[in-house]
Amino acid sequence: MKKYGVDKLRNIAVASHGGAGKTTLTEALLYLTGGVDRMGKVDEGTSTMDYDPDEVKRKISINASVAPVEWKDYRINVLDTPGYSDFVGEVVGAMRVSEAAMILIDSRSGVEVGTELVWKIVDEYKLPRMIVVSRMDRENANFAKAVESVGSILHANAAVVQLPIGEGDAFRGVVDLVKMKAYMWGDNTGKKLTEEPIPADLVGKAEEYRDKLVEYAAETDEELINKYLEGEALTQEELERGLAAGFAAGSFIPVLCVSAAKLVGVQTLLDAIVSLCPSPAAMPAVAGTLPDSEETASRRPSESEPASALVFKTVADPFVGKITMFRVYSGTIRSDSQVYNSSKQKSERFGQVFLLKGKQQIAVSEVGPGEIAGVAKLAETTTGDTLCDKDKAIVFPRIAFPRPVLSMAAKAKSKGDEDKIGQGLSRLLEEDPTLKYTKEAETGELVVSGMGEVHLEMVADRLKRKFGAEMTLDTPKVPYRETIKGTAKVEGRHKKQTGGRGQFGDVWIEFSPLPTGSGFEFEDKVFGGAVPRNFIPAVEKGLREALPDGGALASFPLVDFKAALYDGSSHPVDSSEMAFKIAAQLALKKGIAEAHPVILEPILKVEVTVPEDYMGDVMGDFNKKRGRILGMEPSGRYQVVKALVPMAEMFKYAIDLRSMTGGRATFTAEFDHYEEVPQAVAAAVIEQAKKDREAEA
């Protein structure tokens, strides 16, 4: 593939609500520019971009894929991203390494839930964006209504730069309002493109929208605005320059239209990307820090700068090995060279560097600023790491991936698969930063966390396919704990005589509550040698060993209490450390039962970002979940509802919230504290714990 200068590159991430046609459009871009011989189809599993077996099976995009498109002496790196919210991490990674975003909206549906989600991500990265009204060939397509939804829902300053000629089956061309020309497609090959006069019925509307574009262009430059106010016409070059500046600044959102399936409007879309989107060369220097330092550093998008790149995606494959995808920000990275991972402070040996077209690898000798490339089998490097010259090292900020929102207990389907599941999940973590798993010490369960049901189902499928390990997913156990609210003084006495040397240990211990979060405290209050000094550590050890399952109500771990050893007795021959350990444990069992034991449950601090229309539903749902509303605060077009909610009520909240708000709300949850379980709930918890123990027995 031809090498392009940094000013001839464009990196654009394509995002939308699921099913708006991103992958089909990317296929059309590849086909009409000669990147592929035939146009693949998602429904038939022949798409260049959706090549993963899970994508073919589900007929949806799961991974972000790169399509390098060559058009009129430019290379456009198109990053096709998933539309389903469970795979939003892929969108985040793609946006981080792009200079612009293309947001597709369906011609019938307009702005949808997923559109709002990706719009927020684009906002966070402050990327210029264009909107493409897709699938204009569909029945009941309505360009005007789709454009209207951009303003009414996204509150964006939409500027129409193309008008459709016909809609639905009649869609056959576009009016380019920048050039004031009509382009017509004669058949479905997409290649018989002719330039024609603007249809008479669209001339008035075209002039109206054109005037608005001229105004947007003039506002970007003092010289142009003066010329505009004096009534002088802007030249074509001035108009295009002003529109590109306005697009880059985000002062307006250009709206175009296309039918990827009929291959109408694809070439004019490519022209718009080239003319409007900024090249990497036009971007400011990328900021970072020096390794092990807070001292700032930066890299300009120039080949003369030291090499630097950011890893935005990793693909783990048990057969091919790990593929690392990176974006070069400065300098040149070459095949068969030594590159420094400044995030891990490890050197990596690069083999063959390649460009990616879906799963196809196109070998190149080197890549420069603005390029998106891949390399296989790096030992230390993971997503978010910085690669650079060792002598001129820099560390770029890591990609802020969203935190998991749904957790499930993973259980091996067959005995012996536990180790394979752990090893497989570790490999999958390398390619999916939104996936987490932990071995819960208190419940003994392996808990897998992700972005939703489909995400975790896909993880289970990949484990089976890639690593031969099958797992089932179930609701996790809540890590309940027990404590006491009262005080009790009890004796623990262990005496055993079986011939020969016996066992004797006798202790008196006072159990009393401690503040929440204090844990366990042991106090030695023995006077006069009632318990010999050498046995007192055994008493404490016996108590601590019994804490994990010492609860009197349901054998949950004991916390937040003090045990004060104040008396006891011993035998000169039969007393031993073991005897006093057992005596202490007997005292614990008796004392906890007498000191008003209660069950504690973990409470999460939850923040829900939700449109105002759904606030009442969210708050009402929290009340049903035994939650306490802490407050609300505005966040742009949304409200942030803060609440404390028991963990037991939150395991399926990602599903509940999506159903309640149509997917328009997002949330975060983190552990806050433990508090006492209400009596009515405690009875059910104790009964369930009893059933679980019987099932395990």
Residue type, 331: G
pTM comes to 0.87
Whole-number Å distance between alpha carbons of 125 and 100: 10
Q: For residue 680, how many other CB atoms are within 10 A of its CB?
A: 7
What's the pLDDT score for residue 685?
Answer: 93
Give percent of the chain with pLDDT exceeding 90: 77
Which residues contact residue 656 at a Cβ distance below 8 angstroms, ignoring those fewer than 6 apart? 621
What's the pLDDT score for residue 123?
Answer: 94
Band of residue 427 on the pLDDT scale cut at 50, 70, 90: confident
What's the pLDDT score for residue 659?
Answer: 92
Examine the pLDDT at 376 and tell me if it is beyond 80. Answer: yes
Examine the pLDDT at 1 and tell me if it is beyond 80. Answer: no
| Backbone φ/ψ region at 477: left (φ over 0), alpha (ψ -120 to 50), beta | beta
Could you tell me the two tokens for 125?
A: 């990265």
Average pLDDT, the chain: 92
What's the pLDDT score for residue 186?
Answer: 83
Which residues contact residue 675 at a Cβ distance below 8 angstroms, ignoring those fewer than 6 apart? 516, 600, 601, 603
Q: Tell me what the mean pLDDT of segment 54-72 comes to.
A: 90
Read off the pLDDT of residues 290-329 as tens digits, 9 standing for 90 and up: 998 889 999 999 999 999 999 999 987 666 678 999 999 9
Identify the CA nearest to 587 among candidates 571, 566, 618. Answer: 566
What's the pLDDT score for residue 697?
Answer: 64
What's the pLDDT score for residue 359?
Answer: 87
Whole-number Å distance between alpha carbons of 330 and 370: 8
What's the pLDDT score for residue 319?
Answer: 65
Examine the pLDDT at 344 and tell me if it is beyond 70. Answer: yes
What's the pLDDT score for residue 549?
Answer: 85
Question: What secondary structure does DSSP assign to 223-248, as a single string?
Answer: HHHHHHHTTPPPPHHHHHHHHHHHHH
Whole-number Å distance between alpha carbons of 372 and 384: 14
Which value, to the nearest 10 degrees, does the dihedral of the CA atoms of residues 602, 603, 604, 610 take? 140
Q: For residue 436, how many other CB atoms are within 10 A of its CB?
A: 15
Helix axes 653-661, 615-624, angle to 10 degrees: 150
Whole-number Å distance between alpha carbons of 503 and 451: 56
Examine the pLDDT at 552 and tell me if it is beyond 80. Answer: yes
User: Cβ distance 430 to 316 under 8 Å?
Assistant: yes
Q: Tell me what the mean pLDDT of segment 567-590 comes to.
A: 94
Read off the pLDDT of residues 471-520 as tens digits, 9 standing for 90 and up: 999 999 999 999 999 999 999 999 987 767 789 999 999 999 999 889 99
What's the pLDDT score for residue 231?
Answer: 84
Which residues contact residue 375 at a Cβ distance below 8 angstroms, ignoring those fewer than 6 apart? 323, 324, 326, 350, 351, 352, 353, 354
Q: Tell me what the mean pLDDT of segment 626-632 comes to.
A: 95
User: Cβ distance 258 to 273 under 8 Å?
Assistant: no
Give percent of the chain with pLDDT exceeding 70: 99
Q: Which SS3 state, helix, strand or coil, does residue 20 take?
A: coil
Read off the pLDDT of residues 96-108 as tens digits, 9 standing for 90 and up: 999 999 999 999 9
Q: Tell me what the mean pLDDT of segment 536-558 comes to.
A: 93
Read off the pLDDT of residues 451-468 as tens digits, 9 standing for 90 and up: 999 999 999 998 988 888
140 burial type by CB count under 10 A (0-12 exposed, 13-18 middle, 19+ buried): exposed
Q: Tell me what the mean pLDDT of segment 134-151 comes to.
A: 95
Q: Which of 20-29, 199-208, 211-220, 221-230 has the lowest mean pLDDT?
A: 221-230
